[in-house]
Chain A
Amino acid sequence: MSADVLGGSSVDSMGQADAGAETARVRRWWTAAGAVVVALGVALRVQSPSALWLDEAISVSISGLPLREINEALRQDGAPPLYALLLWGWQRLVGDTVVDVRLLSALFGVAALPVAAVAGARLAGRAGGVAALLLFATSPFAVYYSTEARMYSLVVLLVLCGFLVLDDYLRRPSAARGALLAVVTATLALSHYWSLFLIAVVGGGLLVRARRTRSTVDARAAAWMAAGGLLFLPWLPTFLFQLEHTGTPWGTPAGFTAVLTTVYEWSGGTGTAPRLLAMVLLLLAGVGATATAVSGPRLELDLRGRPPGRGLALVVLATLVLALAVGQLTHAAFAPRYTSVVLPLFLLLAAVGIARLSRSVGTPVLVLAVAAGLTSAVPNAFYTGKTQAAMVAQALRAEALPGDVVVYCPDQLGPATSRLLPSSLRQETYPTGRSPARVDWTDYEQRNRGADPVAFARKVSARAGDRAVWLVSNVGYRTYEGQCEALAQELTYMRGGPLELVEAEDQYFEPAQLRGWAPPPSPRT
C-alpha cells in the first residue's frame, strides 16, 4: 500500500513535459481557487444540523459512562474501544452537545487533508499531492463522516497515517519506524474491525512480495504489523465475546456487487452529481492503476497495471472482496460506512490517475471531480434527515406528562430519542424493559425472537397505571417482525384507540412513529 512497496515509481518520473513558463498571476488565481475549495471542504466538515442518530447516540452514551464501565458497555455494543476512549476524553474536555461530539470527527477529517496531500505527493509528485488534497477536501463520503460522531473519519486519518508510516519504513527501515508501524496498525484495529481486513491484505501482500523478491524489508514490515497485534491482546477477550454474541443482527450480508455500488456511496449516493463523480473517480482509478505513458491527450494503458497505482487498486479490491466474503460466511451485515478503511487508498489512486494525465486533460478532469464532489457534499453536510428522533422528542415534550411511560419498539429507536427527553418520563425498551440509552446487542436475535409483545403490553400498561403510555416504534426492523404492531394492538385493546402524534416519514434514514394511549377508564389489566 505504499509508494515504495508498490514499485517506487512516481508520476513525476514519467517524463511529463513541463508546461513552461506560467504567468504568476494565473498561478496565483489557481492557488486561490484551490485554497477556497479546501476552505469549503473544512467548513463543510463542521456542519451538524441533524440530531444524533442511533449509532452516534450510542457512542455518546457509552463515552458518557465512567471509564471503568466502558469495557462492559462495549462488550454489549460490539465496537472496538479506541474511538470510545477518545470521545470519552473529548466529552470531558470539550463537552457533550451534538456540536461538541461531532467536532471530534471534524477534527480527524480536517487533519486527514494535509496527510492526504503528503501521501498523494509521495505517490505522484506535486500534482498527486494537490489532486489528493482537493479530492479529499471535496469527497462527499469524507465530508459526511467528518460530521458524524462515529469512528469513520478517525479510520480515514489512521489509514493515511499508516500508508505514510509503512512507506517510511520501506524506504528507510529502522526499529523506531517499525515500532510506529506497529502502533498505527494496532490503533487501526482498535478503531474499526474492518481494519483487520485491510491489515490482513497489506500484511499478506508484503509477505507474498517478500517471498517473491526475497526482500527482508518487506518481511520485517509485515512482522512489525503483526507485532501491533500485541497491543490488541488486552482487548482480545472482549473481541472474542463480541464475535460470539453481538455481530450485526440488524442487517444482512451484501453480495460482491457492493464493490461497485460502494464507489457510488463514496460519491454521495444517488443523483446526477454523485453519479458523475463516481464515473470520474472510477475512470481516474483505472488510469491511476494502468496508465504507462502520456503524450498530450494520448494515454497508453498497461492492463497488467503499473506501480504505484496497481498496488493501491489491488489492496482496495482485495480488502473489499475479503470483507464481503467473510461477511457472507459469517452472515455479518454490510454498511457502506465500513468501507472507510479503503476510501483513502481509492482517493489516492484517483489522485495518481489525475497526475498521470497531461495537464491540459488533468486540470479540467480535476475541476470536474471537485465540482461534482462539492455538489454532492453540500447537501450531505446539510442533511437533516438522519433521524426523526428530534421530531418525536419535540412531540413528546409537548404532550407527555411527568410519570408517563415511553416504550421503544424496537430498542434501536431508544438512544437517539431518549437523550432528548426529560428525566420525569419513565422510559423503557421492548422487550427487555431496560434503559433506552444504549442497545444491548448480546444474543440479540435469539432474545427478540422469543419475546412476547402481548405480555409486555399488559405489564407496561399496568406499570403506567393512570398515566399515558407512549410508543416510539417503526416497522421493518429485523428480529422484530410483527412484534411492535402486536404490542400496539394489545395496548389498543386495553386502553382504546391511540393518538397518532407523529407518523413515520420515509425520507428519514431512521424514521419513527409516535402513538399515545390514554389511561384506561377502568383498569382491565
Chain B
Amino acid sequence: MRLVNAGRRAALAFGGTLVGGSLVIGAALWPVLGPLTQRTPLPAAARSTDAGVPVPESAHRCAVQDATAVGSVRWCLPGGVSVRTVEKWYDDVLPAGRDSGRLRWCVEQRLDDGSRRALWSTEAGLVGYVLPPEPPQPNHRATDNSVEVVVLSGSSCHPVTRVNRGQA
C-alpha cells in the first residue's frame, strides 16, 4: 500500500501523524502510567503515633480527617510517594503477619475500595494501618497519598482468625 506522497510533504505527514498518535496514546495512558513513575524515596525513619503504630517520619496529620472514624487518624505523605513505596516501608517497619513489641498480629482485610487493613491486638483493642489501594482504583474514598492509622477500642481479634485458632 502506498500511503504517502513523495518528498517533504510525505515526510511531514509521517512525522506529524506519528507525533500526533504518540500524543494521543500518551495522554490516554497517563492516568495509568503516571503513578508508576513516582519515585520519591521514603527514609526508614519512623515516628510513633498515639496508637503505637509507626508512620513515616515525613508524614504529617492530614488537614481533613474522617470524623466518623473515632480514634483513627489519617497521615498524609509527601507528594510523589507512591503506594508501593509506602507498602514497602511498612513491609520493613511493621510487616503484616508478625507480632511487633506489644502488638500481637491479628488479621489483614481487604476493603471495598481496594485498600488493605492490617490489624494487631493490644490490651486496649485493635490497632493497625490502612494502606491505600494501588492505582488505578477509581472508587477509592480518600486521597491516595495517605495512610490511616486505625484504632478500634474495645475490639478483639475475631475467633475465626488463624492466630486465634492456634496456628499462626
Contacts and interface: CB of A to CB of B under 8 A. Distances in A.
A19 B138 CA distance: 48
Instruction: Assign chain A's interface to a size class.
Output: 35 or more
Contacts of A379: 29, 32
Interface residues of B, number: 41
Interface in B34-52: none
A460 interface: no
Interface in A470-501: 496, 498-501
A21 interface: yes
A399 B10 contact: no
Interface stretch (A232-240, A329-337, A356-364, A442-450): A356-364
A420 B159 CA distance: 25
A468 B160 contact: yes
Given A130-B1, A372-B24, A401-B162, A23 B167 contact: no
Interface stretch (A27-35, A56-64, A292-300): A27-35
Given A29-B14, A367-B17, A499-B160, A375 B28 contact: yes
Given A23-B6, A367-B21, A378 B158 contact: no
Interface in B1-34: 1-7, 10-11, 13-14, 17-18, 20-22, 24-25, 28-29, 32
A370 interface: yes
Interface string A379-403: 1001000000001000100111100
Contacts of A29: 11, 14
B137 interface: yes
B28 A23 contact: no
Contacts of A502: 109-110
Interface string A131-168: 10000000000000000000000000000000000000
Contacts of B124: none
B5 A22 contact: yes
Contacts of B162: 398-401
A22 B6 contact: yes
B21 A399 contact: no
A72 interface: no
Interface stretch (B57-65, B76-84, B111-119, B145-153): B111-119
B158 A364 contact: no
A272 B3 CA distance: 27
A371 interface: yes
Interface string A506-525: 11000000001110000000
B11 A26 contact: yes
A111 interface: no
Given A127-B1, A499-B158, A395 B110 contact: yes
B4 A399 contact: no
B14 A30 contact: yes
Contact of A22 (B10, B20, B107, B138): B10
B143 interface: no
A506 B3 contact: no
Interface in A333-379: 359-360, 362-364, 366-368, 370-372, 374-376, 378-379
A87 to B, nearest CB: 31
B139 A391 contact: no
Interface in A75-131: 125-127, 129-131
A506 B112 contact: yes
6 contacts: A33-B14, A371-B22, A376-B28, A379-B29, A516-B158, A518-B160
Interface of A: 18-23, 26-27, 29-30, 33, 125-127, 129-131, 271-273, 359-360, 362-364, 366-368, 370-372, 374-376, 378-379, 382, 391, 395, 398-401, 468, 496, 498-507, 516-518
Given A30-B3, A33-B14, 8 more contacts: A362-B3, A382-B32, A398-B162, A399-B107, A502-B110, A503-B111, A516-B158, A516-B160
Q: Which 3 A-B pairs have the closest CB atoms?
A: A371-B21, A503-B112, A518-B159
